[in-house]
Amino acid sequence: MTILITGGAGFIGSAFILEWVDEVKEKVVNLDKLTYAGNLDNLAGLSQDAHELVVGDIADRDIVTSLLAKHKPWAILNLAAESHVDRSIYAPASFMDTNVLGTFNLLEVARSYYETLSGYEKDKFRFLHVSTDEVFGSLSPCDPPFNEETPYRPNSPYSASKAAADHLVRAYFKTYNLPVITTNCSNNYGPRQFPEKFIPLLILNAAADKNLPVYGDGQQIRDWIFVADHCRALREVLFKGQPGETYCIGGNQEKTNLELVHEVCEIIDQKLPSPDGLSRTTRIAHVTDRPGHDRRYAIDDRKIREKLGFRPKWTFEAGLKATVEWYFDNPGWVERVQSGAYRKWVELHYGSKNKKGD
């Protein structure tokens, strides 16, 4: 039995693969374009029998078609995405190419593949599309959390591209009966996250006694979920979720950005006191807010709790401490990411190879 994961060298994708191989023990074929956030260090130690990497673009129909024909996966998990809001504001084209056109291509190829299946194989097949809570827009402090019926109101090129992909996925279920499932998850954090994201940026800057940039007044609120819990939720959805359904996944742990900074500083101050004896909170630097910055995200996860029995295991405090410890314990990973050395390794080993994996 084999599954195909797109974007499996990224933060969430690699975490899912590591847990899948450990817990489910089925082979994973991983199609990843290996952009700036795709890091093979995240998958170090996996055997070829457990994990096969194919370097390629989800928008390349020939590659996707050949992988489905060769491996005959019982599920496709689409985690390939451009995902950083700041990048989408200044360079939105790649978000449209990957998140919209790439998802469209996957759906088209999956539809053709699904039509060749019969019996048990057809009944078992699933297309799991992993999305974000940002498609729902912004909440005020008193608004009820997002749920599966919340209207879409995306406010950034990133969230708009993900919203478009979500609509395409839904349309392929309604029009073609492709057995798709969509998940919309809150903010993830944990080991191996690319350090332009908020939590690893804070950890690494605080450890290096650098300024800690905070947008605007720092009162933006996010619901945080530890990446291992998100991966567990995805497994539950894949095994128990119903085709055509959407499931909101959250950690029920809302924090303002400023509260988050203070918690990171407290952990690092205890672990590595600052040379000047001051708390790292003195290095908080409020910077100009980004355009269209959503004020609050929150998830009502009653559906996945009641229908699939999923509940997060990690408290935010335990998850944040484990995350800080991981970055302190893996300076080599951090150095290679920050220096770009991992990109040179990828080019050396994969740049001249046939990207179709033939």
The CATH number of the domain where 101 resides is what?
3.40.50.720
- With respect to residue 358, please indicate whether it lies within any of the assigned structural domains: no
Chain segment 198-241, per-residue pLDDT in tens:
999 999 999 999 999 999 999 999 999 999 999 999 999 999 99
Point out the catalytic residue in the list 52, 57, 82, 134: 134
Range of the domain at 186: 2-350
Q: What is the pTM of this model?
A: 0.93
**Overall number of domains in the chain:** 1
- With respect to residue 176, please indicate whether it lies within any of the assigned structural domains: yes
Alpha-carbon gap, residue 222 to 229, rounded angstroms: 16
Express as a percent the part of the chain with pLDDT over 70: 95
The phi and psi torsions of 350 (rounded to 5 degrees) equal -125, -15
What are the DSSP E strand ranges found in the chain?
2-6, 27-32, 51-55, 75-78, 126-132, 180-185, 187-189, 212-215, 221-226, 246-249, 254-256, 284-287
Active site residue 152: no
pLDDT at 357 over 80: no
Point out the catalytic residue in the list 113, 114, 158, 172: 158
Q: Report the length, in residues, of the chain.
A: 358
Alpha-carbon gap, residue 34 to 355, rounded angstroms: 11
Active site residue 134: yes
What value does the mean pLDDT take over residues 342-349?
Answer: 59
Chain segment 253-307, per-residue pLDDT in tens:
999 999 999 999 999 999 999 999 999 999 999 999 989 899 999 999 999 999 9
Q: Classify 312 as helix, strand or coil.
A: coil
Active site residue 158: yes
- With respect to residue 356, please indicate whether it lies within any of the assigned structural domains: no
- With respect to residue 74, please indicate whether it lies within any of the assigned structural domains: yes
Q: Which residue has the higher pLDDT, 351 or 186?
A: 186
pLDDT, residue 355, reads 42
Confidence of residue 195 (pLDDT cuts 50, 70, 90): confident
Torsion of CA 330, 331, 332, 335, to 10 degrees: 140
- With respect to residue 357, please indicate whether it lies within any of the assigned structural domains: no
- With respect to residue 193, please indicate whether it lies within any of the assigned structural domains: yes
Alpha-carbon gap, residue 163 to 170, rounded angstroms: 11
Contact 70, 49 (CB under 8 A): no
- With respect to residue 47, please indicate whether it lies within any of the assigned structural domains: yes
Closest C-alpha among 173, 313, 309 to residue 246 = 173
Point out the catalytic residue in the list 82, 133, 166, 229: 133
- With respect to residue 355, please indicate whether it lies within any of the assigned structural domains: no
The phi and psi torsions of 30 (rounded to 5 degrees) equal -115, 110
Alpha-carbon gap, residue 298 to 144, rounded angstroms: 8
Token couple for 2: 């084999």
